[in-house]
Amino acid sequence: MTIRAVPTVCCALSLSLAACDQAADQAADPVAPEGTSISIVADSKEKAGVFTANADGKTGEVSVAFPGFEAKVELPKINLDDTNFDLDGVKLYPGSRVKTVNVKAAEGSKGDQATVNVVFEAKDAPKAVADWYAAELARNKADFARSGNSLSGHTRDNDAFAIKLASAPDGTLGVISVRE
């Protein structure tokens, strides 16, 4: 499975994340549009503990922590959209904006496990967004089923995914979850 977003993280879940161009004057600007918030937690019981990284979409503050090290820095806000996301060849719905990306990875007795949740906004109604995903998944020969405005299935790597869509004031609020 390949998911594209920002920043790059090494974990058992193969994430390919691509950076966005950002203007330096956007960092921590309270009147600039909200960026994408990113949270990454990787728990390595055998290799030194928990690694966390967070990017605050409101302020641009990025924090990183792992045993023996912590850092916070102000950077330009990260703004992810439909051009920064890919799930087995299916992009994010055209014109969408990513609100949050949450990655949680852990080593366990049953092997490495990871979950990625991407929350996004789209301007169109949930049914139109669900229709588009169903067509794109079918075009990419994905293993999936649809129930109303929700789709679920498995990636080429046999990771489970779900796409849940709900009405929002400006269109659709969607959540894409991928679990290894």
| CA separation for the pair 128, 115 (Å, rounded) | 26
If pLDDT is split at 50, 70 and 90, which confidence band does 24 have? very low
pLDDT at 3 over 90: no
Give residue for tokens 């994905």.
142
Q: Which tens digit of pLDDT belongs to each residue from 31-75?
A: 557 899 999 998 876 666 788 899 999 999 999 998 888 999 998
Strand partners, 166: 173
Domain boundaries in the chain?
Answer: 26-179
**pTM of the shown model:** 0.77
3-state helix, strand, coil in the chain (%, to 5): 10, 50, 40
Q: Which tens digit of pLDDT belongs to each residue from 96-111?
A: 999 999 999 887 656 6
| CA separation for the pair 8, 158 (Å, rounded) | 22
Of residues 128 and 30, which shows the higher confidence score? 128
Query: How would you classify the pairing of strands 69-74 and 61-66?
Result: antiparallel
Per-residue pLDDT, averaged over 167-177, amounts to: 95
Going by C-beta distance under 8 Å and a sequence separation of 6 or more, which residues neighbour residue 122? 93, 95, 96, 129, 171, 172, 174
